[in-house]
Every structure is written in C-alpha cells, then in structure tokens.
A and B are shown apart, each in its own frame.
Chain A
C-alpha cells in the first residue's frame, strides 16, 4: 500500500493549484495527485529564483514541470473506486490502495445534460468535449444552444458560419451575469461579425497534456478539468454555413422534448403544418415550451453543472450543500475528518463575507485550491489556529470577456431583490455599460462592460465602504475623473 501525507484527487485547476500551493510552501511534502483524465497542463508562472537573485525567470511551464522540480510530488493516472475515510485509504479501480494523512477532493462538476444518451446532445466542459464540439460544428449549418450562463453566452459569440438558435429560460440573456439593461446592450453586438482579438492582453493560459493511451476506456464517464478563460480564443469555431453570423433568440422557454428526424416527420404528418418543398431535413429537433420546434445538426446543453460527488457519497456520509456540492467550512474542510474539498465540487459553507459569493468559476477554483493547500499544510503541522482566510474571499471579483468586450463584475452585483438597492447606471451605446449598486449609500456591487478603467476605483470603494450618497449619479459622470478623486 502506498502512503502519502497529502493526496489530491482531481487534475483540474483546483487540484493542480492545491498541489502547487502545498509544494511551494513545503517543498519536502509527500504529495500525490491522482487524476483519471488528461492532466491540466496549467501554465504556472514558474518563478526560478537563484540564491543571489541574479536570475529570476518567469516562464510559462506545464504543470508537470513542477513535478520535476519537487521530487516528493507524484502524479498518477488512476481512477478512484471508493474511499474508506475511517482508515483513510483510497481504493483505485486498478486495485491499488493509497493511505493518506490529508485528502483533498477536487473532482469538479459535470455539465447537466438534457439527455445523457442522445448522441446529438452535447455538453461543453473540458477540452475533450470542446474538441468533440468543434468537430461536429465543422459540418454543421444550424445548432441549438440551451442555457443562459457563461458558457452559453461565450459560445453564441464564438460560433461563426453556423446559424445559432439560442433558447433561454429567462426574459433576457446571460442572467447569471447581467440585468436586462446590460443584456440589451449586448444584443446589439450579437449580430456583428466576430472581431479580431485585441493585442497586448495578458491572460492566464492553460492547455492539457496529450490524451492518455490505455486508460481511456475506463474513463468513459469522467470529465476532465474545466475550461479556463479564453477557452475559445485559439480555437476555430466555424460551421458550414456561408453566412458568418446568424443568431436567433427564444426567451422564457425550456426544452419540452428532443425529437429524432422520424419523430418529427410523424409529428408533422399528424398535424396540418404546411411543408415547404425545400425544407431541410435535420438529424434532430428541439421542441420548446412555447410550441416552436427547431431543427438542427446538434444541441448544446449549457444549463449548468452538477458537482461530482456521487462516488464519494457511496462510501461516506459527507454533508452536502444546498446545491449538491460537498459542504466545506472556513478551512475548506468537509464534514469528514482529514478530508478537504475545493473548486466546483464543494459548496462554501462558512459565513460568507458581505461582498462575496460562490460561483463555479475558474478563478474561484484557483483561489480555493491555493487556500485549501495552505489549510492542509496548517492542519498537518497543527498550526490551524493561525489560519486566516485569503483576502480574495472578501470580495467577489471576476474579469471576463463577452462578445469581445471586457466585463468586470465586483461584489454583490446581482442581488436577487434589486428593488431594495439603489442603482447608478451609465450607458454609452456600443461602448460601455456601467451599473453600480448601492446599499446604504455605499458601493455594494458593480458591473463594468467595456474599457471603463473604473474597476480598481470601485474595488476600493467597496472594500473601503466610503459613503458616496452625496454624489448621486454624478459618481459616474464621465467628465469627472473619479479614479483620481479617490486616489
């Protein structure tokens, strides 16, 4: 039986960052990373600092490079079969057993699929599914995208030369991120052709290693590490239609059923739908709750993710959060001794800071992974009393790009009951959209779309909690250099 101080299950960004964190703070730690799918080749800013600081190298290196640097870090391609948390042993599919002192579960979450079995319904989650999507897209003329979150929004923009039917269950698009006004702001851009990516933008990059050879058959159900920022950037998302851009949106609908070509023909012949002679025969049809039926080459299901917890629940009684993830406390500990969890698989169960909330984002997975590593080390050295939560959990902050525009979300930008708060809005059509939510005269949350240059100022206003009620909407007056004012 193998024995390790620290074992991390899951080779996505959370798991990899957790391992990186432990190894950085404690280079002698015995660490094992178990991953059943291609390892995220997370490009780490590897810092090589020589003894007298003559050499200082920032390089983008594959994560496996870290493994070469830290001799006590092992990476193994294995699939976990079950856990024995009393004896602190992991049983793998290939019958190996691994004993751990501290375990961290970073198995992420998988896309909820409208249909698990229909070959025309795809989910997008990891590189493998993206590649599968790209391949299918290359011969597609029309697709239906179901869902209203980040992946759906990004996909609608990235897909070219393919007609897109976007079905959302809300009255406006991208509700996870935007209010109606912001959604309207983006609608104008949806029909524009994709612009060239702007240069000089530095973003964290990642890739995956090459596909594993023999273990593929046993990992049929497993999902690889989730896609990171700019996942679509370098990829060709071109379909087979001559028109570069065609997007049609159906609001407040859900999927009623998915029909095969035959089922659709039967449906048509039993009603009196007039059939045009050159109507295309699609392989699959989507029936929406508003009665409309759209044919397409395939369907993308982007309706959210479900935490990968089933395997662990089989053998242990973990407490779950309301959204089905492993509930963790302020030290990223699950309800089971010596077992931690972080990333998409967990649910934040501590008393959340006023301006922070959990969203299953790449950046949060990274932050949690980093912090979880520190926690595991602290508990191993009996130093848990000196643990304080990283500052990143004080303020929700997310930077992304939608429709080729920079989007920055800060704090509680999306309260369920918007009526309780005052909102300051500034919109310059085609250029920017800013919404600042105030609570008791102080900045509570913000949405910045476009190159507003205001993110840092408002990040500080939220954290400082300065009373800005005296300014009213002049706070956002573009002729006032508000960044300078509060500098």
Chain B
C-alpha cells in the first residue's frame, strides 16, 4: 500500500541547515543512507516534489529526486552515502546531481550506465583571454558570427575538421593526445584537464560500429539542446588569490565557455551497455528497485566492457571539446587580427560531469579504491591532491559550473570538506523539480485533436507551455545551487561569469 506524504517524511531527517538524511527503509533494500544538500528555497522544492508524487502516485512515470537517491543507495557494493547535490533532479536511472561510489574490489559491487548518463563525459571547459568587455562589445556580432562560422551547430550538422574512420579509432584510444598530435591542442591544455584528457583504460574495440558511425560526422560539432558555447565576462571575483592562479585578474575579463559531450557516440555506448547489462543481471542475480538502474558487476565482462567503452567515449568528448577550443581560438584570432597565443587564450580547466572514475579515497581511516559515479556532478578535489595540476595545488581544483544557457556561470574550487563528505564531488549546474502544472484547456485547439481521434488515430495530449506568470516556480537556479555548495563547505565560490554572446544549435 502506498505511503502517505506524512509517512514518507518519517524517513527524512535534518542534519544541519544545509543537509538532510534519507534513512534506510525510505525505499526497500537500502544498503547505506542517502543525503542531500539544500538551502531554504531548494529544500522547499525537494519536499514539494515528494509531496506531489505521494499525492498523485507519481508524476507520469518520473520519480522524485529523493526516491532516486534512495534507490541508488540500494545498489550492491555502494560505500559511504548516496549523495544528492543541490541541483539534484529527476534523471534516467540515477537522478542528475547524484554521486554514488562503489568499492572497486568488492566482487558484488556494480557499475551502472545510468549513473554516468547518456552523454558520456558531458562537461565544461573554460578558456581565458586577455580581452576586456570593452574590447569585445563593439565586435560582439562579428565575434558571434565568427564562432558560428567555425563551430557547426544544430541537429544533423557535420563537423568541419576533416576526420575519417581511422582518425576516429585513434581519437577514441588517445583522447587529447590525438588532438595534440594533430595540432588542435596546446601541450598545456592537457595539464589543465581531468585525466589529462585521456582515460588510459579506453578500448575502442568495446565501442560498437553503430556508435562509431554516429560519432564520426559529429566530431567538433556543438549539437543542440543544452549544449552551447558562450562568450562570457567576469562579473565578480570572490576569491582573488585562487582566481589569480587561474589567470583571472579583473572584472570584465573575457572568457569562453564550451559545454558539450560525446553526443551520439556516448548515447550509443550507454544504450548498448544498458541492453547487455539487462541480460546479465539475471545470471549474476542482481536486483534493483528500478529497471532503469540496469547495472553489472564491476568485474564482470559486461561491467569491464562498459568501463572501457565509457573511457573511449570520454576520450571522444575531450577530442570534441579540444576541437571546439581550437575553432574558438581561430574565431577570436580572426576577429581581432591576432593569434590565440597573443590573446592569452589558455585553458583554465576542463571538467566532466557525466562520468565514472576509479579513485582512491580514505574511508574510516583506510584507503580504498572506489568507482565513483558522477552524473550531473563534478569532481572537486581539494588543495594538495596529487591528481590536480601544479599551479592549482595550493588553491584546489577549479570547478566549472555552466548555468543554463544565457544565465550566469561560476568557477568554484574543491575543498577538503568536500573530499570527506562527498568523495570530492559538487554540483554541476541548474535543475528543475518535478511539478504538476495546472492544465490549460484551450477549446479551439482541442477540437482539432478530437477530429483526429474520431478518425481512429491514437493521440495523447500533453499540457501546453504556460506563460511565465503561470509557470510553476520549480526551477533550481544555478546561483542557489552554488551558494548552497559554498555554505555546505563542499566547494568554494571563486568567480562569477556573465554571458555576452551565446552560440547554440
């Protein structure tokens, strides 16, 4: 019998002003607890979402974030807690903004493609320039046009950088090393990228033909939807010292942010794995609370194949972002009649927010190897961590948070507290809570649909878009999200950026 909202609340307990715990029993089979980070506004949204789902028995097949966090806590081999970052919202399998780590050496521990996302290694990179907003304002249209000219956008767009099947194989294996070899990347770019832009466990043979075919024409393209490139200016500097280490020195400084992933190739790798793993789950006697949480034992052939394919797809995404970096540098150079070098267009950092990583973490005083799933979550390593570049050793890893296209973006830095509480993970952007909007009937329009129905055509009608005033305020905006992370201590605010031009499909 389904629980009432009041009954559900019994499992949710406040830890502090920014953090709540989800107790075992909230959903069946929880191995660990869940935890989620919020501020006042975000807290309201989380609970409203749960209440709506309780009252109406779900929201059309979509689960509230709290439930998804808990379902993940029920997966075999999970260690620590299933963590919901402040931007957590409903996603396929795992919620977006959910971090979950599994003991790599536990034979029962699993890996799940839903915990990575379809767009494998969707991520963000930030380039700086030595230009000011004043330099760019008069050239804005031209600059945007130049970017458009260089970076193909939209569904069905074809890449500009010539590439054949052999190039793709090499790119899948070598990641940014391929870009470097071909001259699309600067050597220093590698230093400022997670994994140095190449995951060594990548194996192109674990990427299907179909995935490769999908990937070949898309290299160096932005796609559409929520992928974009933005010309931004520094709006505020919160941590002058850390910003200085990144080469961000003054308000009004111009930067370029590129947000995209592995597109169709990643999607196919994820889809292929979901199919293969669903088959193997029976054999290995793995049960989950949600069919979308299809997974495999990390050490099984399906698990290992997925990880190797995922690494190859991640490499592809880095090659993609490198290609776009190259194109953006060319666009600027052309516009300002200069060179990318003279414009100081260095890569500040590149982060992934849809990926699974094998990392070493300390749990209860002991070092353990963990498989950390970060879906819609960003790695945020603290100062002195061996895996971050030399120039960020004192300040911690830069974390790039792309807001929704057209809104502000942020740069944060990783903290020790984050390392302890969330295995070095923080948010990735914005989100939207599920809500039930009032449906608006417009008789004229529905007449036409009734006519279709009379003809025997099966239609189901979704509610129309609502006007701003009517739209429910279920939006978890990026500012609330990063301020929550800062207040919770899991990452520190460093810089705020404001968009000046957007390039999108």
CB distance from A260 to the nearest CB of B (A): 40
When A45-B160, A472-B60 are in contact, do A181 and B452 touch as well, CB less than 8 Å?
yes
Evaluate contact between B224 and A453: CB separation under 8 angstroms: yes
Nearest neighbor of A388 in chain B, beta-carbon distance: B213
Nearest neighbor of A50 in chain B, beta-carbon distance: B183
Chain B residues whose C-beta falls within 8 Å of the C-beta of A202 in the assembled complex? 145, 148-149, 153
CB distance from B453 to the nearest CB of A (A): 10
Is A24 an interface residue, CB under 8 A from the partner?
Answer: yes
Evaluate contact between B144 and A487: CB separation under 8 angstroms: no
Tell me the complex Cα distance, A460–B488, Å: 36
* A-B residue pair count with CB separations less than 8 angstroms: 199
Evaluate contact between B61 and A464: CB separation under 8 angstroms: no
Tell me the complex Cα distance, A200–B92, Å: 33
| Chain A 303-337 near chain B by CB (<8 Å), digits 1 or 0 | 00000000000000000000000000000000000
| Chain B 428-472 near chain A by CB (<8 Å), digits 1 or 0 | 000110111100001011001101100111111111111000011
Evaluate contact between A480 and B216: CB separation under 8 angstroms: no
Evaluate contact between B224 and A456: CB separation under 8 angstroms: yes
Nearest neighbor of B440 in chain A, beta-carbon distance: A428
Count, chain B residues at interface, CB 8 A: 77
Tell me the complex Cα distance, A471–B61, Å: 5
Evaluate contact between B448 and A478: CB separation under 8 angstroms: no
Within 8 A of A (CB), among B78-94: 89-92
Is A184 an interface residue, CB under 8 A from the partner?
Answer: yes
When A53-B182, A464-B268, A472-B61 are in contact, do A483 and B92 touch as well, CB less than 8 Å?
no
Is A459 an interface residue, CB under 8 A from the partner?
Answer: yes
CB distance from A409 to the nearest CB of B (A): 10
Is B241 an interface residue, CB under 8 A from the partner?
Answer: no
Evaluate contact between A425 and B459: CB separation under 8 angstroms: yes
When A429-B442, A474-B61, A478-B465 are in contact, do A463 and B214 touch as well, CB less than 8 Å?
yes
Nearest neighbor of A203 in chain B, beta-carbon distance: B154
Main DSSP-derived SS at the A contact region: mixed
Q: Which of B89, B267, B330 contacts A484 (CB 8 A)?
A: B89
Tell me the complex Cα distance, A223–B271, Å: 46
Evaluate contact between A474 and B62: CB separation under 8 angstroms: yes
Evaluate contact between B431 and A472: CB separation under 8 angstroms: no
Nearest neighbor of B119 in chain A, beta-carbon distance: A487
| Chain B 103-119 near chain A by CB (<8 Å), digits 1 or 0 | 00000000000000111
Interface range for A: 35 or more
Evaluate contact between A425 and B460: CB separation under 8 angstroms: yes
Tell me the complex Cα distance, A463–B505, Å: 19
Evaluate contact between B156 and A363: CB separation under 8 angstroms: yes
Chain A residues whose C-beta falls within 8 Å of the C-beta of B89 in the assembled complex? 481, 484
Is B296 an interface residue, CB under 8 A from the partner?
Answer: no
Is A65 an interface residue, CB under 8 A from the partner?
Answer: no
B89, B144, B435, B459 pick with most chain A CB within 10 angstroms? B459
When A419-B456, A456-B224 are in contact, do A432 and B465 touch as well, CB less than 8 Å?
yes
Nearest neighbor of A422 in chain B, beta-carbon distance: B458
Chain A residues whose C-beta falls within 8 Å of the C-beta of B96 in the assembled complex? 484-485, 487
Evaluate contact between A464 and B155: CB separation under 8 angstroms: no
Tell me the complex Cα distance, A470–B60, Å: 8
Evaluate contact between A180 and B451: CB separation under 8 angstroms: yes
Chain A residues whose C-beta falls within 8 Å of the C-beta of B91 in the assembled complex? 484-485, 487
Within 8 A of B (CB), among A426-481: 426-429, 431-432, 434, 453-457, 459-460, 463-466, 470-481
Evaluate contact between A181 and B448: CB separation under 8 angstroms: yes
Is B162 an interface residue, CB under 8 A from the partner?
Answer: yes
Chain B residues whose C-beta falls within 8 Å of the C-beta of A184 in the assembled complex? 445, 448
Q: Which residues of B contact A (CB under 8 A)?
A: 59-62, 89-92, 96, 117-119, 122, 144-145, 148-150, 153-156, 160-162, 182-184, 209, 213-214, 216-217, 223-227, 264, 267-268, 270-271, 326-327, 330, 354, 376, 431-432, 434-437, 442, 444-445, 448-449, 451-452, 455-466, 471-472, 474, 505
Q: Which 5 A-B residue pairings sit nearest by Cβ, starting from the closest?
A: A474-B60, A53-B183, A476-B462, A473-B460, A428-B464
- A–B pairs, 7, beta carbons within 8 Å: A47-B162, A58-B149, A459-B264, A460-B267, A479-B432, A480-B62, A485-B91
